[in-house]
Amino acid sequence: MVRLLGISGSLRAASLNTALLHAAAARVPAGTTLEAATLHGIPLYDGDLEAASGLPPAVQALKDRVRAADGVLLVTPEYNNGIPGVFKNAIDWLSRPGADIPAVFGDRSFAVIGASPGGFGTQLAQDAWWPVLRTLRARVWFGGRLMVSRAGGVFDAEGALVDAKVDAQLRDFMAGFAAFAAR
């Protein structure tokens, strides 16, 4: 069984990226599970807080889920041509203390997808994730790219994926990433 964890980089209840994460979870191949995680409850990184109290409970819980997964799917919005601050903040917390980086990121499979109401998908945000993941020594899957543009028309009002082309692309992406994470 391949265990994947997907993290939505948006806090909004009606997030296109959270909808994409749920669609991905429904389209994993047989023998694979994908659990969804959110960033709710993770405070802004503060070294003084870490020194005084250690990791906040929400950070430790997410960190434990990452460690238990064979692979992690980052489902990223793109804000101002880059990584959303709330998402990068969570990854920064997960890298603390630095001695834990190999156990959390090192040789763990990671992939990045995203959805945007604009015409370029999340290309710049995805590109911005690569050096972060490389620095953390994650094993990044470059075998596919999935950037859902004009995503407002890809999902219905309830957040269900209704676009057949994106559905097929997402199924292919998840099959490829699951195979990569199984290695």
pLDDT for 143: 86
pLDDT (mean) for 62-68: 98
Q: How far, in Å, CA of 169 to CA of 175, rounded?
A: 10
Which percentage of the chain shows pLDDT scores above 70? 100
Please give the domain boundaries of the chain with CATH numbers for all domains. 2-182 (3.40.50.360)
How many CB atoms within 10 Å of residue 146? Answer: 24
Q: Evaluate whether 70 touches 2 at the Cβ level (below 8 Å).
A: yes
pLDDT at 120 over 90: no
Question: Model-level pTM?
Answer: 0.97
Q: pLDDT class for 1, splitting at 50, 70, 90?
A: very high
Nearest to 159 by CA among 28, 35, 31, 10: 10
Tell me the CB-side half-sphere exposure of residue 77, using CA atoms within 13 A.
19
Residue 24: name the closest of 113, 130, 143, 128 by CA: 113
CB burial of 149-168 (b: ≥16 within 10 Å; e: otherwise) equals bebeebbeeebebebeebee
